[in-house]
Structure 1
Amino acid sequence: MTSTATEPLDHLIARRLEDALSPARLAVSNDSAQHRGHMGDDGTGETHFSVEIESAAFAGLSRVARQRLVNKALADLLATRIHALAIRARAPGEQ
């Protein structure tokens, strides 16, 4: 079993979102290398991420409400380990 302290953060993000939102499609990208030396870069190489997620949980919700669901699933990580998170959240059948 992998400890959350040593598990790659992109894997932990994916696991949390899978558990919370049962996505039909999920892609988590570590964008930290593009931000090396910028504000929020703590040297770990795990501070900036992008998420593309498709889930039935988003049906009928606004963009802001969808982002709130993602943020809720990752709340403790956003408070401690993630500096920036770009989110693209869709319901099934949306482009």
Structure 2
Amino acid sequence: MMNLLLHIAEVSGMSTELAKETPPTVVGDAIRFNARFEGRATQQFEISGDALVEYFGAKARTQDALLSAFKHGKAAIIDAAEKSQGMPVNDVVLLGTGDFPQG
């Protein structure tokens, strides 16, 4: 079974994914989620409502609009989380508008 999981990870090319046991949730006007790195270490992240509006098309700061924008931008958000993986934090890593490319 472990060999199959390793093979799937190699084929997919993804080393970072959303932790399935804790779905993304709205906290204020942000989305909090857990990312799993290399199938092992898990880190908690929070993406700001500003980033979800500016980069991922959230039409409002409602729960439904923010979650929809998060789903739409999931690949880019996971990529930003992966790049922030080594940040020394004791709690939640914050992702904002500066973590996503312009244009």
Q: TM-score, normalised by structure 2?
A: 0.30
Say which structure, 1 or 2, has more relative contact order (CA 8 Å, 6+ apart). Answer: 1
Q: TM-score, normalised by structure 1?
A: 0.31
State the structure with more CA Rg: 2
